[in-house]
Amino acid sequence: MSYDQARWAEDDQYEPLLSEKFNREVEVDAPLPDDLMRDSLELPAPSEPELARHYTRLSQMNYGVESGPFPLGSCTMKYNPKFTEDLAALPSASVHPDRDPDTVQGTLAVMGRLSAYLADIGGMDAVTLQPPAGAAGEYTGVLIAKAYHEANGEDRPEIVVPDSAHGTNFASAALAGFDVVELPSGEDGRVDPEALDAALSEDTAALMLTNPNTLGLFERKIETIAEMVHDAGGLLYYDGANLNALLGRARPGDMGFDIMHYNVHKTFATPHGGGGPGAGPVGVVEELAPFLPTPQVREVQDGAGEGDSTYELYDPEHSIGKVHGFSGNWLVLVKAMAYIARLGDEGLTDASAKAVLNANYLAEQIDYEIPFEPFHHEFVASAGEQDAAAVAKRMLDHGVHPPTTKWPEIVDEALMTEPTEVENKRTLDQLAAAFDAVAAEDEETLDAAPQRTTARYIDQVSAAREPRLSWQALGNEE
Amino acid sequence: MGGHNAGSPYAPHSPEETAAMLDAVGADDEADLFDIPESVRFDGEFGIPARDERTVRREVRELLDRNDKLVEFLGRGHYDHYVPSAVDHLADRQEFLTSYTQYQPEIAQGFLQALFEYQSMLVELTGLDIANCSLYDAATALGETATLAARVRESSGSHVLVPEHLRDGKRGVLENYADGVGLTVDSYPMDDGAADIDALEDAMAEDVVLVYAESPTVRGVIEESLAEIGVLADEHDALFCLGSDPVALSIIEKPAAVGADIVIGDAATLGLPAAYGMGLGMFATRESFLRQVPGRLVGASEDESGRRAYTLTLQTREQHIRRERATSNICTNQAWVALRRRDFGHPGARPRSPPLPGVRRADRPAGVGDRRGPPRRRVRHPRDRRPPATALRDRDQRRRDG
């Protein structure tokens, strides 16, 4: 397969900046004293047709899930169903956050229903929808752990995180004021109980774990791990980034996890939006429910029939307070609720089955070595003698989005690959052909890539050395 | 709808394809591919029935119809702005909506440029040197500001001062972030909806690292003492953070000109309806804090063909590289909301004539805030760190002329 990305270019740049085409300076006037008012404002003022063309061209110079395969490991780049967009765009979904709960019963009903779905899917007892992203979910989770230990009169300053974990785990623990204890992976790529034993102590607040881990491997000794953490007085935190591997097959709550977050922009097919917004709801076991953020939604009475229940907001007794100014990324939550309702038990279970089948089938077709198995929804291949980052650039020329590269570090020149359930055999074969074509190519070809994308290879090092972060900064150079 | 597959409608496998793929991997059944110990397998059901698309649409629509249809005047940062249709249609293009963070910049120039343009607009609106390409909302942006203040503090300070009247959510989030870096949050009194500047001066006696003020305040008042707050912060080696919104910033004095080190706020007002508080965390600051900025930054560079191209930059600040020493834990942000900004026309500014009729500031007797009223006391900034507002204006003018 081949692909030439659109390239709108003008002289020494691609599509000119809005400011270069449409900037207009206006004097500012308002009924304010002069010293409270700015003199002028200089912003682009395109007409609608000019604006539409600008953004359409920009969109053509961008690659989305519908453009082609997007096997970006750990990111779960699923197809985002269209109808969920329509629902989030309903005028009835757009309500002011300060409204009295009595006047937003519909919003609260959707939140209540989504919370119940997520609790069932994760095997948890209570769920907050407030965290606006996965990392915010982690932060919420570790705040809950902190509050729980404090309520028990314990000072536990450490969070244990495996070396193969997402960078956010470390950063979220640190943001909550914890010291991070890094847990080295065992030779089989999983948690080594001996190393865990050495890491745990009376200072341990929690162990954060992704299961299956970032190599796609299930932590077979999860029950032992849970027991060890609990015996040490700590809590077990589940990073939901890889939940798409387990839907309907296993639940974090049944494995002994006490707290978990869900990445709805991964598992539940809400769009990644070029970086966000996502949502990172957090589920907890009953003992931790009093620590959830404020406010929580609950059903107050069962009416005569379906849809007659009313909902109210309440503050959990020992709440950690707020992690978002309001109720998180509400419109994203609407989409997630609709996706789960569309799939139901059968669809969710099948989504995971097909995601795991696709990863295994793709792995079987490619020439790169895959050191760790059996993996589930994703695998980490090694580019061997090749530079994984260069492999990725060259894959762009073969019309596919490349895998996540150089991470986790436990695999040399890692190519972390997650095709998700949305590819069929034909597109997986095309993806495999792209892998194999690149595997057979020499260094020179790789170094010259990419050739067929909008931009050629971009020098990120010099961008960081002399940061130019605005059109004003570009203008000052001239 | 439903079709080919009894399971997920978004998994395109025909039964024949599934069989061929299972055969290729040497498995009899999909279940064989799961390496899950028997004791933790889930054999139950969630009890969620699958529904077709039309049924789900009807269900969700019926649920949402239970929201009372009201004309909202609740304000306080969230307004019932009209969002032009062009915003939805352009932002919903799949190349934007379904794309990922731009870690492969060569194939993501479009979104990177849109974010670069967003950053630039915030630079113009705030007068500050740099802006990031989004945080979650104003509350978390304020929280991130506190952690930044703790990292760069020049004193032994451990207090953050916020206005007495502040949204609970904002204060709550701030308290959590502040607690993580050992800061405590105190409030200074307000008088008539704006800062009580004498009381603030008294409060500064404590070891303060960050002063936060808003304009408009939560009571809807234009804060007149920003320049004085800037000077107070400066005299006490504290940072000054201003909370505002992009529409207000198009009219009020540039925050940089009143000594603001950081500007935060909710920019969702540019292109998102009042989505039950879903936001767009705005964050702009001075160049000197560049390496302390939380979240993603888009920078201009060149590609191998010598053309200007954009890329995420200074990523060594971020969690995926710096881990527990990152400037923030933020990864997923609000990029698509930043893309939705309504950027045709100038948000709040109007041509100088004709003037807006009948509008005046709240909480002030007529005449006091009048343009022809007595001039307010001007506060000069210490020369070493911040030029006075007029000098900045002059510099801006020179830049425009030059």
Q: Which of residues 401-460 of A touch B (CB under 8 A)?
A: 401-402, 404, 407, 421-425, 428, 450, 453-460
Domain membership of residue B39 as a residue range: 15-63
Domain identity same for B95 and B59: no
Q: Which of residues 284-343 of A touch B (CB under 8 A)?
A: 294, 307, 320-332, 334, 337-338, 340-343
Q: What are the structural domain ranges in chain A? A: 9-61+464-477, 82-342, 346-452
Kindly tell me if the per-residue pLDDT of A258 is higher than 80. yes
ipTM: 0.97
Domain identity same for B33 and B118: no
Please give the C-alpha separations between residue A26 and each of A34, A139, A288, B222, B353, in angstroms, as whole numbers: 16, 43, 55, 21, 11
Kindly tell me if the per-residue pLDDT of A433 is higher than 90. yes
Domain identity same for B129 and B26: no
For residue A463, name the pLDDT band (cuts at 50, 70, 90). Answer: confident
- For residue A168, the 8-state DSSP code is H
Q: In this complex, do A83 and B106 lie within 8 Å of one another by their Cβ atoms?
A: no
Kindly tell me if the per-residue pLDDT of A359 is higher than 60. yes
For residue B402, name the pLDDT band (cuts at 50, 70, 90). Answer: very low
Sort out which chain B residues have CB atoms less than 8 A from A103's CB and list them: 67-68, 70
What's residue B347's pLDDT? 53
What's residue B82's pLDDT? 87
Residues sharing a CB contact under 8 Å with residue A466, sequence separation 6 or more, in sequence order: none
* B383 CB within 8 Å of a chain A CB: no
Mutate to test the interface with A, among B278, B280, B328 (most CBs of A within 10 A): B278
Mutate to test the interface with B, among A111, A128, A350, A465 (most CBs of B within 10 A): A350
Sort out which chain B residues have CB atoms less than 8 A from A430's CB and list them: none
The CA radius of gyration of chain A, in Å to the nearest whole number, is 25
Domain identity same for B54 and B149: no
For residue A306, name the pLDDT band (cuts at 50, 70, 90). Answer: low
Kindly tell me if the per-residue pLDDT of B394 is higher than 70. no
Q: In this complex, do B65 and A92 lie within 8 Å of one another by their Cβ atoms?
A: yes
Nearest Cβ partner for A393 among B106, B227, B290:
B106
Alpha-carbon torsion (A446, A452, A454, A455), positive or negative: positive
Report yes or no on B374 lying in a domain: no
What's residue A302's pLDDT? 65
Percentage of chain B exceeding pLDDT 90: 71
What's residue B155's pLDDT? 78
Indicate the helix (H) or strand (E) that contains B308: strand B308-313
Q: Which of residues 185-204 of A touch B (CB under 8 A)?
A: none
As a whole number, mean pLDDT of residues A359-382 equals: 97
Kindly tell me if the per-residue pLDDT of B371 is higher than 60. no
What's residue B344's pLDDT? 53
Token readout for A194 is 């001996």
Q: What confidence tens digit (pLDDT) does each residue in A75-110 have? A: 999 999 999 999 999 999 999 999 999 999 999 999
What's residue B356's pLDDT? 38
Q: What confidence tens digit (pLDDT) does each residue in B317-342 have? A: 998 888 998 999 999 888 888 888 76
* A151 CB within 8 Å of a chain B CB: no
Comparing alpha-carbon positions, the chain A residue that sits nearest to B361 is A32
What's residue B333's pLDDT? 86
As a whole number, mean pLDDT of residues B274-299 equals: 96
Mutate to test the interface with B, among A17, A21, A36, A364 (most CBs of B within 10 A): A36
Overall size of chain A counted in residues = 478
What's residue A161's pLDDT? 97
The CATH H-level superfamily of A346-452 is Aspartate Aminotransferase, domain 1 (3.90.1150.10)
Q: Is-above-0.80 flag for pTM? A: yes
Phi-psi region of A127 (alpha: psi -120 to 50; beta: other; left: phi over 0): beta
Average pLDDT over chain A, rounded to whole?
A: 96
Domain identity same for B56 and B164: no
Q: In this complex, do A59 and B93 lie within 8 Å of one another by their Cβ atoms?
A: yes
More confident residue, B353 or A429: A429
Kindly tell me if the per-residue pLDDT of B370 is higher than 70. no
As a whole number, mean pLDDT of residues B187-192 equals: 95
Q: In this complex, do A32 and B41 lie within 8 Å of one another by their Cβ atoms?
A: no
Q: What confidence tens digit (pLDDT) does each residue in A321-330 have? A: 999 999 999 9
Q: How many CB pairs under 8 A join A and B?
A: 684
Nearest Cβ partner for B314 among A62, A180, A464:
A464
Domain identity same for B24 and B139: no
What's residue A49's pLDDT? 94
Domain identity same for B47 and B107: no
What's residue B181's pLDDT? 96
Kindly tell me if the per-residue pLDDT of B286 is higher than 60. yes
Q: What confidence tens digit (pLDDT) does each residue in A259-281 have? A: 999 999 999 999 999 999 999 99
The domain boundary residue, chosen from B305, B320, B345: B345
Distance in angstroms (rounded) separating the CA atoms of residues B104 and B98:
15
What's residue A334's pLDDT? 98
What's residue A310's pLDDT? 93
Kindly tell me if the per-residue pLDDT of A37 is higher than 80. yes
The domain boundary residue, chosen from B319, B345, B371: B345
CATH code linked to domain A82-342: 3.40.640.10
Average pLDDT over chain B, rounded to whole?
A: 86
Domain identity same for B168 and B315: yes
Sort out which chain A residues have CB atoms less than 8 A from B348's CB and list them: 30
Domain identity same for B46 and B102: no
Q: What confidence tens digit (pLDDT) does each residue in A214-227 have? A: 999 999 999 999 99
Nearest Cβ partner for B136 among A45, A248, A324:
A324
* Cβ-contact A439, A370 below 8 angstroms: no
Comparing alpha-carbon positions, the chain B residue that sits nearest to A226 is B40
What's residue A459's pLDDT? 86
Helix axis angle, B168-180 to A167-175, nearest 10°:
100
Sort out which chain B residues have CB atoms less than 8 A from A55's CB and list them: 90-91, 93, 114
Sort out which chain A residues have CB atoms less than 8 A from B320's CB and list them: 166-168, 407
What's residue B379's pLDDT? 37
* Cβ-contact B110, A57 below 8 angstroms: yes
* A123 CB within 8 Å of a chain B CB: yes
What's residue B393's pLDDT? 41
Q: In this complex, do A65 and B57 lie within 8 Å of one another by their Cβ atoms?
A: no
Q: Which of residues 41-70 of B touch A (CB under 8 A)?
A: 41-42, 45-53, 56-57, 59-70
CATH number, position B168: 3.40.640.10
Nearest Cβ partner for B64 among A18, A50, A93:
A93
Percentage of chain A exceeding pLDDT 90: 93
More confident residue, A293 or B153: A293
Domain identity same for B57 and B109: no
DSSP code per residue over B86-138: HHHHHHTSHHHHTPPPSSSGGG-HHHHHHHHHHHHHHHHHH--SEE-S-BS-H
Q: What confidence tens digit (pLDDT) does each residue in A245-254 have? A: 999 999 999 9
Kindly report which listed range (A444-458, B70-84, B188-202) carries the lowest average pLDDT score: B70-84
- For residue A290, the 8-state DSSP code is G
Domain identity same for B119 and B53: no
Nearest Cβ partner for A168 among B18, B24, B329:
B329
Please give the C-alpha separations between residue A283 and each of A49, A233, A322, B18, B151, in angstroms, as whole numbers: 46, 20, 16, 34, 32
Sort out which chain A residues have CB atoms less than 8 A from B302's CB and list them: 458-459, 462
- For residue A179, the 8-state DSSP code is E
As a whole number, mean pLDDT of residues B173-196 equals: 96
Domain identity same for B55 and B105: no
Kindly tell me if the per-residue pLDDT of A204 is higher than 70. yes
Report yes or no on B204 lying in a domain: yes
- Beta strands B130-131 and B194-195, pairing class: unpaired
Name the domain count of chain B: 2
How far A377 CA sits from the closest chain B CA (Å)?
9
